[in-house]
Each structure stands twice: as structure tokens, then as C-alpha cells.
Amino acid sequence: MAENIERLKELDSEIQRLSNIAALLGWDQETYMPEGAVEERSEQKALLEGMIHERITSPEMAKIFSKLGLSESKAAVSGLSVTGTDQAFLREAYRRYRLQSKLPTKLVRRIAKETSLALAKWAEAREKADFTIFSGNLETILTLVREKADALGYEEHIYDPLLDEFEPWMKTKELQEVFQNVQKSLTALLSRITASGTRVESGFLKREYPVDKQRQLSLGVLKSMGYDFKYGRLDLSTHPFTITLGSTDVRLTTRYDRSFFPKGLFGTIHEGGHGLYELGIAAELHGSLLADGTSMGIHESQSRLWENFLGRSRAFWRWFYPRVKELFPAVLADIDLDTFYRGINRVEPSFIRVEADEVTYNLHIILRFNLEMSLVNGDLKVKDLPEAWNQESRELLGITPPDVSLGVLQDIHWSMGDIGYFPTYALGNLYAAQFFRTLKRELPRAEAEVEEGNFSAILAWLREKIHSPGRVYTAGDLCTRVTGETLNPDYYLQYLEEKYGAIYGI
Amino acid sequence: MAENIERLKELDSEIQRLSNIAALLGWDQETYMPEGAVEERSEQKALLEGMIHERITSPEMAKIFSKLGLSESKAAVSGLSVTGTDQAFLREAYRRYRLQSKLPTKLVRRIAKETSLALAKWAEAREKADFTIFSGNLETILTLVREKADALGYEEHIYDPLLDEFEPWMKTKELQEVFQNVQKSLTALLSRITASGTRVESGFLKREYPVDKQRQLSLGVLKSMGYDFKYGRLDLSTHPFTITLGSTDVRLTTRYDRSFFPKGLFGTIHEGGHGLYELGIAAELHGSLLADGTSMGIHESQSRLWENFLGRSRAFWRWFYPRVKELFPAVLADIDLDTFYRGINRVEPSFIRVEADEVTYNLHIILRFNLEMSLVNGDLKVKDLPEAWNQESRELLGITPPDVSLGVLQDIHWSMGDIGYFPTYALGNLYAAQFFRTLKRELPRAEAEVEEGNFSAILAWLREKIHSPGRVYTAGDLCTRVTGETLNPDYYLQYLEEKYGAIYGI
């Protein structure tokens, strides 16, 4: 038993290193790679992904799992004489083996190659606001994604294995129920806000904020949050992301808009939240597959907690606003703290998801979830997608994007083949609210410390409860361990009611 | 036959891609990697290098070569029924297999890991001007390098297999003879220059040249040379280098000194010369091991040709100096073209190799060659190296470095395990002179075109004669094909006599 697990750990450690190397190829492509190298890079990525896949599904792996008594019909590790971290390691290793061994190497390599090509086409299509540049690539990707879902297998819904890739163990049906409730409550809250007649000023956010000073602010906030630049960087990319190139190398990207202040700063804080999660994983898990976020929903709970629950709170700005005013004294001369706080929390249906307020954000996700479901089950054709997007946008948000760059082409995810990913953003908000409520109960001084720009106790709490275990607990288990109950969307809705009730006087 | 060669090409193509990926790991480490990631990165590099080594020496490779009738005792491909590019491919593939299969995977992995660690220590030691920080690492590296030489085997000199790695087919003895002649002529020329009493002003090169403008100049020169930024970049690093991340991705680095103008510009032109070689390789060789410089000496001939034979020529500055003056009008107000030209060509023994003038440069190389020989054959201990360096410096250049950062720690190469590399720099100068003489004969308008900032005919000539064949011809064959004779150091000495005779009136 012990011997088999040791050998598994050795094999896993090489797989982790290769994945970290693959991550560098991706980071470089998004930041510094010369444009002419895109085809060759896609070949390199495909080769590496193929090699990783071969290792995960190697005959030696198969033999070890079979010796350990694990099989498709007996996949649970709970009955085995192994406990603690080793049990979690075995659970995750076998899960990965089982899923990946259902995928032919050829398919994995094709997906890696096609998505790398699609990424460049998507960027071009978005820039030119021309969906047809990208639609052929998206069709190819959807065909491959359906092949993948079929290979992985499912009982209820073709979307199940796709969702499971990002939010392990969660089913489409469960998600649909959560989203139905959330959608109902959010549309109701949005109507009340709109009907309140309260005017929230936010035009000052679109004044001129020089990019070099925005960058200075971003770096300063990350440092205050506890992000350690000895083990990371902040670069520019079209779509901000956090990427793990190793346990000692977790990099962030952001982008700045000279004429829209929130974009750069909140994008940075968001990625900072992801980065702190990855850098907070316990050292004894380093180099293994347990050194990872336990689900994308939990990962997103960390970015949203920093971006919104802390970053858009009044306490945060009591500390931070004087600093911002120092950097932009003329631009913000006529704006007081209260006006600023209300401005960055203004609720208004808008086109771009990553810039959406906390009330409408999850509606953006539900829109994408609905379209993904229709695309993968074949109800919706790629050629009809832009119009379907606009239709959903009118129904959920009451607005129609003027062009595809503000609509269907705004997100990078589909070009990367990441279908099933979007829902985890909404789950992140829900988990964040539930964690934040517990945090505030267990750290009564949290708000006062935020007002002093002191995040050390908060970070220590997050590390102990959420970051350090990495993937040892499943998302559901972690949620129960930390908060005492399973996922409960009510906390998010309560949080919104309270915060936006105060701002809009409803 | 054809089938075996096809399969070899498939295997080689994966090896090339993995080498390109390994190059990205190296590039990132030297440019953007956070410092805390150094140990993990060294593990990643070691893993990848080990995998490459395993593929080069795989049982399948062995089988194919044996089927083709190649063996240690019958290593020449000339007798086989294969011609042209395929013959060259087979020659290089078998050479690589034969050499690599003598190296145990364990040793290759250890070298990769230890050099990655040593690199960081070297940087720290150089910064602190403290040799002891790095000496332990250097001892480890020397032990490994000796193990490598023993494994590769040699008849005459332990240095032979080390030199052969960078300058294939060349022997230590041959090199010693060339260097003896060169040293004699150079010291004689240097004495005559010193004795001439001619004063060449160069103090103006140490005025203040803002870095952003230096960068602007560097980018402009690279574009004029024909370096295509669609397939490359220019970044900053401690030690400038050119690195091939693929046939469509060849990157350069440089560094600027605000108070020393030549450092940034000539460093950039030098790397630009390397970059043009790599980017000029014929498309039909892309992705194979023939898509590479044929030896480091030939590679260096391209960088030195651009840096010195063109970049430090009067014709070049007739075109370029007005542009430089436009960027630094106040700084260079009192300096005319002739003063500038003479200043950048001032001959004076100095500490730093990469900033040395054309007359003393090869003496710096001979110094390193002498020390490397003594280190590998055990005559010189690492602890005595700094003093030995100073001793050689006094003998060859007549000066003693004030500290180790200006002496034994100035170069990155030993920290990378690259013993046997330095001589190729001197060979580069010799080859460059021989090529340049032929170029001027075949392109009588070359000088006139340089005066107009037009490098297209020169680049086309270099591409056709030297770049496009990649590794198809060996260095010796290439030299004969292009110039009609084998390596002849006289051309370099003639070039120096003529150029510096004019400057110093001797």
C-alpha cells in the first residue's frame, strides 16, 4: 500500500512539473511572445499536453490503481486503509486517472492545438468586432468539446462532465436549481433598485487616470494584501489571469484603462485574491496535485472576496481613498469618500461581465450558462450565437450590446475550450458570501483592521481555513468545515440586500 | 533507408520542440522570473533536459542507427546511399546520438540542476564582488564537466570533447596553434599602438545617455538591420543573449548603462547578428536539428560581423551618427563624426571582455582559454583561480582587475557549465574577417549602401551564403564554400592592421 502510494507520488511530481512548464508556455503567449510564433507555440503546447496526458494514463498508473483495488465500478477511496492527506491524494489521483484515461491522447493534443490557434483568432475577432473571424474556430472547439463529453460519459446531461472538470462533483441539475433561485432574487432586487429613483454618481470614474499611477496603486494594494513579489509578478495581458508556474511562482496579469479607473485596480485585486490562494497552500503539499485550488468555485470565492467583499467595502476605502487622492489630487478634488464609495458600487446593467456590479454580475453568468447549455446540446448553432446572446442580454439585463466585442466576443473562455467554467464565477460569489460571514463572526476586529489597511489577520484566517489545505477537501466538504453548512445562496442575497439597501435607500 | 530517415525526422522534431520549450524556461529565468522561483525552475529544467536526453538516446534511436549501418567504429555517413540535406541530417543526428549516449541521464540531470543553481549564485557573487559565494558551485561544476569529458572520451586532450561541443570537429591542438599566432601578432600590434603616442578621445562616451533613448536607438538599429519583431523581442538581462524558442521565435536581450553609451548599442547589434542568423535559416530545415548555427564560431562570426565590421565602421556612422545626434543633441554637440568614430574604436587594455576593443578582445579569450585548460586538467585549483586570472591579465593585457566582478566573475559561462565555449568567440572574429573580405569582393556596393543605412543586399548575401544552410555544412566546409579556403587568421590581422593603422597613424 505505502509503496504504491510512494510511487504514485513520484509519478505525480513529474506530472506537476510538466504542468508548470505548460503554464509558462501559456503565460508567455499571453504576455510577451512575438505574434509570429503563435502556430509554433500551439505545437509546443500540444506536445506537452499530450505528454502530460500520456503520463497520467500510463500503463504503470493503471497497474498501481488496480493493485490498490480501485476501478470504474469501485472508485471510492474511503474503504481503503489509507487516511488523511494520503487518502485525499489517492482520491484526486484516481479521479484524474479515471477521467483522463477516457480521453484519447489524439483528442487531447487536438484540443490543445486548436484552442491555441483559436485564442489568436478570438483576439483578432474581438479587436475587429467581427464574429465571423472566430466562428469557424468556435465550431471546431464545440465539436471537440462534445467529443470530450461523450468520451467522459454522463448519466443526466452532456454538460455534467464539462462542469465537473471545473467544479468537481457538482451536477448540472443542482446548478440549475441554484441559478433559478438566484436569478429570481437578483431580478427582483434589480427592479427595486431601478425603481428606487436613487441617483448614484459615477462619472468621475471615467476621468483621466494616468496608467503609470494606476500601476503604482495596483502594486501597492497587492503588497498590502500580502502578495509576495518574491514569488510572483504583475504583467499586462488582454484578459487578466492568475497562473501557477510552480509553488514558488504564481503570477498575475491585469490591464489598465486610462479613462476607466475601476478596471485596472479591481482587476488586480481580483487576481491578487487568486494568487494568495495559490501561494497560501501548505508547503507539505507543494509539488503534488493537492497543491491546487479545490474547485474553480472555491478559487473564485477568494478573488471575489478580496475584490468585492473587502475591495468594494466602505472600510477598505476609509483606509485607501486618501492614498488614491494623493496620487490623483486634481482628478478627485471634488469627490468625497462617500461619493467615491457609492460610485464604485453603482448598480446598472452593462455589457462587460468583468466590470459588472455585484447585483448584475451573476446574471451575466446565467446568460453564458444558458447559451453554453444550448450550444453543447445542439439546440443553438454557432452562426445564431451572436443573436441568441443579444436576446438573452435583453431578457436578463434589459440591454443589447452595440457590437460583438461588447457581447459574445468579450470573454476568452470559449476560445480556450473552457465550456463549463463560467458557472464557477457565480458559485464563487456565493461561496465568498458564506465564507465572509463566518470570517466576520470569527474575527470581530476584521472591519476595524481593514480601515487601518491591515489585512494580516484576515489573510491568516483565509490561509488556515481555505488556502493551506489546497485540494485536500472537496469544495462541499471545505464549505461545511469552514462555515458549518453546505452551499447556501441566501448569504449572498442577504449581503446584497443589506449593502445595496443602504446605498439605494430601499 | 527512406523509412528509417523519416522516422528519425519524426523523433527529431519532438526533440527540437522540447529544446525550444527548455529555451523558454531559460529565457524566462534570465528576464522575468521572480527570484524565489529559482530552485523550482532548476528542477523543471533538469526534468526537461533529462527527457530530451532520454529521447536522443532512446532504444528506438539506437535501433534505427544500427539498421542504417552506423556504429562507433563506422561513424561516417558519407558511404551511405543518402545525399544532400538528408546526409547532413543523418550526420548531425548520429553525431548527437553518439555523444549523448555516452552521457548517463543522471549526469545530464545533475548538470542541468547544478548549473541552474550556480547561475543564481554567480549573479549574487558578481553583485557583491565576492568569489567565495560562487566558488563551491564552480568546483561542483568542474567535477561534473570532467566527468562529462571522461564519459565522452578523448585521445589527446581532456579539453577536446568540451571544445567539440561548441565547435564541432575542431581539436584543442589546432586551436592552440591558431591562438599562439594570433597572440603574437596582437601583442605586437598593441605595442605599436601604445608606442604611437596617438591620443584617441573617448571620454564623451561616458556622458549621460538616458536609457529610454538608448532603447529607442537599439530598436531602430535592429529594424534597419532587418531583424523582424514579428518573430522576436528585445528584453533586458544581466548578460545579453540570443535564444531560439522556435524557428518563428528568436529573442534578444541587452542592457544599458546610462553613463556608457557603447554598452547597450553594440550589445544590441551583436545579439542582432546572432538573431539574424537563426531567423535566416531556410524554411525547409525548420523544426529539425539542422535549423541551428553550424558551430558557435560561425555563430559568433555573424554577431561580430554586425557589431564590429559593420557597426564600428566609418560607413555605418556616416549614416547613423546624425540620427544619434538628433537623440542626444546637447550631449554630443561638441563631437564631430570623426571624433566619434575614433572614440568608439579606441584601443586600450580594459577589464571587461564584452566591452573590449577589437585588438584586445581576442587576448581576453586567450586568457580564459588558458585558465579553462588548467582548471579542467587539474593544474589550477578553484581557490587559486582569482589570482591566476589576475596574473594572466597582467601578462596579456598589462592590467590587474581591482575586484572579482571586473575579473574572474564577469562572465556567465562557467556558471552555466559552458567550458570550451570561450574560444569560439575568438574564432568568430577570425571567421568574420574572412567572410567580410569575401562579402566586400562580391558586393562592391556594400560600403556605399551602409552609408545610406541600407543593409538589404548585405543581409541577403549573408542569408544565402551562411544563414540559410543552417547546420547542413560543417564550419570548415562552410568556410571553404563561402571564401574558397579554410580558416585563415591572416585576414583578421590584416583587417586590424589596416583599420587601426589608419586610426593610430602607424
Q: DSSP letter at B312?
A: T
Distance CA A276, CA B44 (A): 23
CB contact under 8 A, B36 and A231: yes
In this prediction, residue B76 has a pLDDT band, given cuts at 50, 70 and 90, of: confident
CB contact under 8 A, A41 and B249: yes
In this prediction, residue A143 has a pLDDT band, given cuts at 50, 70 and 90, of: very high
Q: Could you give the percent of chain B with pLDDT greater than 70?
A: 100
- Per residue in B239-249, pLDDT (tens digit) is 899 999 999 99
Length of chain B: 506
Q: Which of B34, B248, B249 sits opposite A231 (nearest CB)?
A: B34
Q: Which of A40, A230, A233 sits opposite B248 (nearest CB)?
A: A40
| Residue A106, pLDDT score | 87
**CA R_g for chain B:** 23
Outline where DSSP puts E strands in B214-266.
234-236, 242-246, 249-254
Q: Which of A33-42, A70-79, A232-241, B139-148 has the lowest mean pLDDT?
A: A70-79
In this prediction, residue A505 has a pLDDT band, given cuts at 50, 70 and 90, of: very high
Whether B94 and B66 have beta carbons less than 8 Å apart is answered as no
Q: Which residues pair with B235 in a beta bridge?
A: B253
Closest Cα in chain A, distance from residue B18 (Å): 8
Residue B257 contacts A where some CB pair is shorter than 8 Å: no
CB contact under 8 A, A24 and B20: no
- Per residue in A435-475, pLDDT (tens digit) is 999 999 999 999 999 999 999 999 999 999 999 999 999 99
Contacts of B17 in chain A (CB under 8 A): 43-44, 47
| Residue A418, pLDDT score | 96
Residue A203 contacts B where some CB pair is shorter than 8 Å: no
Please tell me which residue of chain B has the smallest CA distance to A251.
B34
Strand A249-254 and strand A242-246: the pairing is antiparallel
Q: Could you give the percent of chain B with pLDDT greater than 90?
A: 93
Closest Cα in chain B, distance from residue A281 (Å): 15
Please tell me which residue of chain A has the smallest CA distance to B44.
A17
Query: Catalytic: A271?
Result: yes
Outline where DSSP puts E strands in A166-318.
234-236, 242-246, 249-254
Residue A219 contacts B where some CB pair is shorter than 8 Å: no
Q: Looking at residues B187-199, what average pLDDT do you find?
A: 95
CB contact under 8 A, B251 and A44: no
Closest Cα in chain B, distance from residue A107 (Å): 18
Mutation site for A-interface testing, chosen from B14, B16, B29, B33 by largest number of A Cβ within 10 Å: B33
What does the H/E/C string look like for A29-52? HHHCCCHHHHHHHHHHHHHHHHHH
How large is the ipTM?
0.90
- Per residue in B343-363, pLDDT (tens digit) is 999 999 999 998 899 999 999
Please tell me which residue of chain B has the smallest CA distance to A246.
B40
Contacts of B12 in chain A (CB under 8 A): none
Whether A45 and A117 have beta carbons less than 8 Å apart is answered as no
Q: Which of B17, B32, B44 sits opposite A43 (nearest CB)?
A: B17
Closest Cα in chain A, distance from residue B502 (Å): 43
Please tell me which residue of chain A has the smallest CA distance to B16.
A44
Instruction: Look up residue B444 and give its three cell numbers.
Output: 562592391
Residue B387 contacts A where some CB pair is shorter than 8 Å: no
- Per residue in A84-128, pLDDT (tens digit) is 899 999 999 999 999 999 998 889 879 988 998 998 899 999 999
Average pLDDT of chain B, as a whole number: 96
Average pLDDT of chain A, as a whole number: 96
Contacts of B44 in chain A (CB under 8 A): 17, 20-21, 246
pLDDT of A195 strictly over 80? yes
Q: Looking at residues A349-355, what average pLDDT do you find?
A: 92
- Per residue in B246-287, pLDDT (tens digit) is 999 999 999 999 999 999 999 999 999 999 999 999 999 999
Distance CA B215, CA A21 (A): 31
Distance CA A457, CA A144 (A): 46
Of B235, B210, B211, B209, which Cα lies nearest the Cα of B222? B235
pLDDT of A76 strictly over 90? no
Residue B492, exposed/middle/buried by CB under 10 A (0-12, 13-18, 19+)?
buried
Closest Cα in chain A, distance from residue B301 (Å): 26
- Per residue in B426-466, pLDDT (tens digit) is 999 999 999 999 999 999 999 999 999 999 999 999 999 99
Q: DSSP letter at B129?
A: T
- Per residue in A471-485, pLDDT (tens digit) is 999 999 999 999 999
Q: What phi and psi values does residue B330 have, to the nearest 5 degrees?
A: -70, -45
| Residue B183, pLDDT score | 96
Residue A169 contacts B where some CB pair is shorter than 8 Å: no
Contacts of A37 in chain B (CB under 8 A): 231, 245-246, 248-249
Distance CA B462, CA A446 (A): 67
Residue A481 contacts B where some CB pair is shorter than 8 Å: no
Q: How far apart are the first and last CA of chain A?
A: 61
Residue B43 contacts A where some CB pair is shorter than 8 Å: yes
Catalytic pick from A271, A278, A300, A307? A271
Mutation site for B-interface testing, chosen from A12, A14, A20 by largest number of B Cβ within 10 Å: A20
Closest Cα in chain B, distance from residue A429 (Å): 31
CB contact under 8 A, A249 and B40: yes
Non-local (6+) Cβ contacts of B83 within 8 A are none
User: What sections of A129-171 are H helices per DSSP?
Assistant: 132-152, 160-166
Of A182, A186, A188, which Cα lies nearest the Cα of A489? A182
In this prediction, residue B79 has a pLDDT band, given cuts at 50, 70 and 90, of: confident
Mapped onto helix, strand or coil, the DSSP state of residue A260 is strand
DSSP string of B213-233?
HHHHHHHHHHHHHT--GGG--
